[in-house]
A and B are shown apart, each in its own frame.
Chain A
Amino acid sequence: MKEIVEKFRPLFYPRGVVVTGVSQHPGKFGTVAYHNLIACGYQGELFPINREGVESFGRATYKSIAEIPKGRADLVFLCTPAAVNEELLRECAKTGVRAAFVASAGYGEAEDGAEMEKRLVALGRELGIAIAGPNGQGLISTSVSMCAQIVAPYPPPGPISVVSQSGNLASSFMSYGSLTGVGMSKAISCGNSAMLQLSDYLEYYGEDPDTAVSLAYLEGVGDGRRFAEVARAHTAKKPLVVVRGGVTSAGKRAASSHTGALASDDRIFSGVCRQMGITRTETIEEAYEAAAAFATQPLPRGPRTLIFTVAGGWGVLTSDACVNAGLELIPLPEDLKAKIDTMVPARWSRNNPIDLAGGETRDTIPEVLELMAAHPDVDAIVYLGIGIQASQAQMFRRGPFWPDHGLERIGTFHESQDRRYALAAAEASTKHGKPILIASDLAYTGASYANTGPAGVRESGRVTSPSGHRAIRTLARMVAYSRFRARVRSNEH
């Protein structure tokens, strides 16, 4: 086992967690964190600390850390005032704690807290305790059902791990993880990054067997050389998706040389992303969508794309997006055209995008999806318009005639068909090792609406993009990363 995996084990896989500042007051951070750990079913032991030993949520607390049996807790969640944390950490070290998440504020971010933060780091080093934070909102690790946070979002288990220099954005990504059902392995808000830095977490995620894709929000990279090295090692194995906020100008460097005049921080950061195979997006929605696609779809081998649509306009717009994104909207292969000719009436598009113009029967769409995915000239497929028929079925259900006049029979048929299409797309994609990205505006409503199209995509473990444009952007990112991986491989030989 790699050293770094061992180093982070007490933080993300603790056998027990000490929570300080737990009380009967449900507004206090310690109480909230304790509540969230219980509510999400943390699999290890909990050791709530209350100086007076009063119960919390009807459960007994420990008056001091010294009362905790030795060797049972690996992690302490500190949300007590900064002034008492040093003493608490010393006691924790004696009982065997090796990692601390410091949620408490009043450190480097506070006017007079810089000295306190320095002492916190020094103490962590002295005691052999890895310190996350301070001034962070917490962390989750779904493998041990741990929600050690002073905020709520807690996604189901999944393949993505998040590190964020903003607690809010960690929450956003976790919310997407819940909404899409793709879930998450770990998430941590770095806080002030006094000891453990963003690059440290990324280095760990790169080696962590439970993380398939990393997703980071950052504002500053700290030691840029280390960030670049960590990213290079990470992306050689698995995708890293990054959103950067707070893009600044670099007027200072402009000075004497012309090169300097053209340079700016963010251009250099863009260069680092390109060079190190980092997938960078401007928005968190696209970052999450890219991460989810990486985590749930095979990587495309190239840019040769087929668009499959149930309606014209979507196909037209998505074709434009496809070309603009630098993907290849291939001419429809002749043998594929000949096969589809035998399956549907002649009014179908006979071109890429493939539009069956309503000529399909019961099994046509799953069969066409399979044919497209199997074709050797095709690297990727974008499937537009899932859920339309199921939407009509829902209208039938809401209308005054359901279930009579044949509405129930046709409505349930359409609902089962749309679900079947979603599952067939995932099956063909997995079987042939090619991405099939599904886009539908119903993605926004799929969860609450229970439209069987997007619900079927979710059931297949995948994500519906909210538009063809977004699916294309995600696909272009997958193609770029696939190229990067090929470049890394060719340079290894």
Chain B
Amino acid sequence: MSFTLSEHESKQLLRGAGIEIPDERLVESADAAVRAAEELGFPVALKLCGRKIAHKTERGLVRLGLSDATAVRAAAQSLLGARRSDDGDARVLVCRMVSGRREVIAGLVRDPQFGPCVMLGLGGIFAEAVGDVAFAVAPLAPGDAEDLIDSLQYKKVLGPFRGEPAVNRKALAAVLESLGRIGAERADVRSIDINPLIIAGDRPVVIDALVELEGSGA
């Protein structure tokens, strides 16, 4: 039996494991959302956030590029109004907008034979079609994370590419190594899905994350 942490809880777990997470605010009202946006700085993104909310994009529960208080207030009201009775505790997550043209997916899976494995894949809209994904058994030994990055078929995208700088490999490797440590040290973590991990300039930034834990979540 397993349950999924909310996006905010998931990111906090990752932050606890040493993965850099951009500052964000979880709020319960439109007023609080506006205050949070002013603190973080515009533009911001708003998402409805709760343990039972899994398919945010499909349900239209993500609002991007909100550049002033009016837009934030309207978006927050609309998201709060879209809550359904089966959504449980759902609040609004306010995040600073991060932009980057490249996305990767990073995660952790538990293979029935090999146990915890770190996963890295190319992200974006063609991710599933392209299926450029590679795995390594956790925890990662020195050099394993870099090797994982180099094993992507389209690793070229992570080099200097169309005017974008090469990805900071150390920073990306650090994310992968942290995922590996979680896999090795926390038997209760069944899976992690960081999707997307946007490459902003040369830095990988966690935009959305879902952590699945053993248990009922009660």
Q: Contact residues of A with B, CB < 8 Å?
A: 220-225, 227-228, 232, 250, 253, 256-263, 265, 267-272, 274-276, 487, 490-491
If A221-B114, A224-B115 are given as contacts, then 16 extra A-B residue pairs at C-beta distance below 8 Å, sorted by A number, are A232-B141, A253-B111, A257-B193, A258-B193, A260-B191, A262-B133, A263-B117, A265-B111, A268-B111, A270-B134, A271-B117, A271-B136, A274-B151, A275-B144, A490-B143, A491-B141
Within B88-136, which residues are at the interface with A (CB < 8 Å)?
105, 107-109, 111-115, 117, 119, 121, 127-128, 131, 133-136
Q: Which of B54, B112, B117, B147 contacts A256 (CB 8 A)?
A: B54
Give the 6 A-B CB pairs with smallest separation, nearest first: A271-B135, A224-B113, A224-B114, A259-B107, A491-B142, A257-B193
Contact with A along B39-76 (1 / 0, CB 8 A): 00000000000000010000000000000000000000
- Residues in B whose Cβ lies below 8 Å from that of A223: 113
Measured in the bound complex, the distance between the Cα atoms of B191 and A253 in whole Å is: 10
Contact of B30 with A by CB under 8 A = no
- Residues in B whose Cβ lies below 8 Å from that of A232: 141
Measured in the bound complex, the distance between the Cα atoms of B113 and A220 in whole Å is: 9
Contact of B207 with A by CB under 8 A = no
Contact of B33 with A by CB under 8 A = no
- Residues in A whose Cβ lies below 8 Å from that of B36: none
B195 touches A274 (CB 8 A): no
Q: Which of A227, A263, A490 contacts B119 (CB 8 A)?
A: A263
Cβ distance B116 to chain A, nearest Cβ, rounded Å = 9
Q: Which of A227, A257, A272 contacts B191 (CB 8 A)?
A: A257
Measured in the bound complex, the distance between the Cα atoms of B112 and A222 in whole Å is: 10
Within B197-218, which residues are at the interface with A (CB < 8 Å)?
210, 212
Measured in the bound complex, the distance between the Cα atoms of B105 and A274 in whole Å is: 20
19 contacts between A and B (CB under 8 A): A253-B112, A256-B2, A256-B54, A259-B107, A259-B108, A259-B119, A259-B193, A260-B191, A262-B105, A262-B127, A262-B131, A263-B119, A265-B113, A267-B134, A268-B109, A268-B111, A268-B113, A268-B135, A276-B137
- Residues in A whose Cβ lies below 8 Å from that of B114: 221, 224-225, 227-228, 268-269, 272
B147 touches A257 (CB 8 A): no
Check A268/B117 contact, CB under 8 A, given A262-B133, A274-B134. yes
Cβ distance B101 to chain A, nearest Cβ, rounded Å = 20
Contact of B178 with A by CB under 8 A = no
Measured in the bound complex, the distance between the Cα atoms of B105 and A428 in whole Å is: 48
Most chain B CB within a 10 A radius of its CB, from A253, A258, A260, A261? A258
Measured in the bound complex, the distance between the Cα atoms of B142 and A260 in whole Å is: 25
Measured in the bound complex, the distance between the Cα atoms of B117 and A225 in whole Å is: 10
Q: Which of A227, A253, A275 contacts B136 (CB 8 A)?
A: A275
A259 touches B109 (CB 8 A): yes
Most chain B CB within a 10 A radius of its CB, from A222, A223, A225, A490? A225
Contact of B34 with A by CB under 8 A = no
- Residues in B whose Cβ lies below 8 Å from that of A253: 109, 111-112
- Residues in A whose Cβ lies below 8 Å from that of B210: 257
- Residues in A whose Cβ lies below 8 Å from that of B6: none
- Residues in A whose Cβ lies below 8 Å from that of B173: none
Measured in the bound complex, the distance between the Cα atoms of B143 and A267 in whole Å is: 20
A263 touches B109 (CB 8 A): yes
Q: Range of interface residues on chain B?
A: 35 or more
Q: Contact residues of B with A, CB < 8 Å?
A: 2, 4, 54, 105, 107-109, 111-115, 117, 119, 121, 127-128, 131, 133-137, 141-144, 147-148, 151, 191-193, 195, 210, 212
Measured in the bound complex, the distance between the Cα atoms of B163 and A105 in whole Å is: 65
Measured in the bound complex, the distance between the Cα atoms of B143 and A262 in whole Å is: 24
- Residues in A whose Cβ lies below 8 Å from that of B144: 275
Measured in the bound complex, the distance between the Cα atoms of B210 and A225 in whole Å is: 25
Cβ distance B18 to chain A, nearest Cβ, rounded Å = 20
**B113 — nearest CB in chain A belongs to which residue?**
A224
Cβ distance A270 to chain B, nearest Cβ, rounded Å = 8
A267 touches B135 (CB 8 A): yes
Check A487/B192 contact, CB under 8 A, given A267-B134, A275-B137. no
Measured in the bound complex, the distance between the Cα atoms of B121 and A224 in whole Å is: 22
Q: Which of A220, A225, A259 contacts B115 (CB 8 A)?
A: A225
- Residues in A whose Cβ lies below 8 Å from that of B136: 271-272, 274-275
Measured in the bound complex, the distance between the Cα atoms of B147 and A224 in whole Å is: 20
- Residues in B whose Cβ lies below 8 Å from that of A260: 109, 191
A487 touches B143 (CB 8 A): yes
Q: Which of A263, A267, A271 contacts B137 (CB 8 A)?
A: A271
- Residues in B whose Cβ lies below 8 Å from that of A274: 134, 136, 147, 151
Most chain B CB within a 10 A radius of its CB, from A222, A228, A256, A490? A256
- Residues in A whose Cβ lies below 8 Å from that of B127: 262
A257 touches B121 (CB 8 A): no
Measured in the bound complex, the distance between the Cα atoms of B141 and A260 in whole Å is: 23
- Residues in B whose Cβ lies below 8 Å from that of A261: 128
- Residues in A whose Cβ lies below 8 Å from that of B141: 232, 491
Measured in the bound complex, the distance between the Cα atoms of B109 and A232 in whole Å is: 21
Cβ distance A146 to chain B, nearest Cβ, rounded Å = 33
Measured in the bound complex, the distance between the Cα atoms of B54 and A276 in whole Å is: 35
Measured in the bound complex, the distance between the Cα atoms of B144 and A221 in whole Å is: 21
- Residues in B whose Cβ lies below 8 Å from that of A270: 134-135
- Residues in A whose Cβ lies below 8 Å from that of B113: 220-224, 227, 265, 268
**A253 — nearest CB in chain B belongs to which residue?**
B109
**B133 — nearest CB in chain A belongs to which residue?**
A262
- Residues in A whose Cβ lies below 8 Å from that of B128: 261-262
Measured in the bound complex, the distance between the Cα atoms of B141 and A490 in whole Å is: 12
- Residues in B whose Cβ lies below 8 Å from that of A271: 117, 134-137, 148, 151
- Residues in A whose Cβ lies below 8 Å from that of B131: 262
B111 touches A259 (CB 8 A): no
Measured in the bound complex, the distance between the Cα atoms of B217 and A460 in whole Å is: 67
B191 touches A487 (CB 8 A): no
A262 touches B121 (CB 8 A): yes
Most chain B CB within a 10 A radius of its CB, from A227, A274, A491? A274
- Residues in B whose Cβ lies below 8 Å from that of A267: 133-135
